[in-house]
Amino acid sequence: MKIIMLGAPGAGKGTQAKKIAEKYGVPHISTGDIFRANIKNGTELGNKAKTYMDQGLLVPDELTVALVIDRIQGEDCKNGFVLDGFPRTIPQAEALDEALKGLGEAMDYAIDVDVPDENIINRMSGRRACLDCGATYHIVTIPTKVEGICDACGSKVVLREDDKPETVQKRLEVYHAQTQPLIDYYKGQNILKTVDGTQPMEAVFGAIVGILGA
């Protein structure tokens, strides 16, 4: 079962990807994790990626795809995997398809967790994070016991720069320009499935399980 998770930043696709991985016993693969693992292990691909990242540059598609393909050939991926945060663009999707074809494989599902921009802005601007221990909260759904104070370590919780409405708006604009075209791309391959991401987390997961099978 080879799955790609799609959805705007803040739609909750990372959470759902982890739940899918857990239920079906397949690895949850994010490009960030792949980069970190390869850099830590000092692999040739990792060292190449590091030269770009150290300069604050995006890792080129060709190298990103090579890292992903290397990862999905791991022993733990023999029953499938969940890709989270990749591909982000049509060229990446095409390169991934081409590489999989070379292995005699293809993606099975692209699941789009669909949430309107307005909901995402409201959802993310309510997030609060502890910069000391990394715990995260939400002023409506997961508030701290004492307002503004982390339950776990007692430090202050803050609205991160990434979660400010104007920053979220910019990230959504990039998403709509670069990543949303993937929805049509996978629709054209008849593997796109859309779930309503405005529902509670468990209901979204229930809808995904309904698509994938129990």
Q: Which residues are catalytic?
A: 13, 88, 127, 160, 171
DSSP, residue by residue, the chain: -EEEEE--TTSSHHHHHHHHHHHHT--EEEHHHHHHHHHHTT-HHHHHHHHHHTTTPPPPHHHHHHHHHHHHTSGGGTT-EEEES---SHHHHHHHHHHHHHTT----EEEEEE--HHHHHHHHHTEEEETTT--EEETTTB--SBTTB-TTT--BEE--GGGSHHHHHHHHHHIIIIITHHHHHHHHTT-EEEEETTS-HHHHHHHHHHHH--
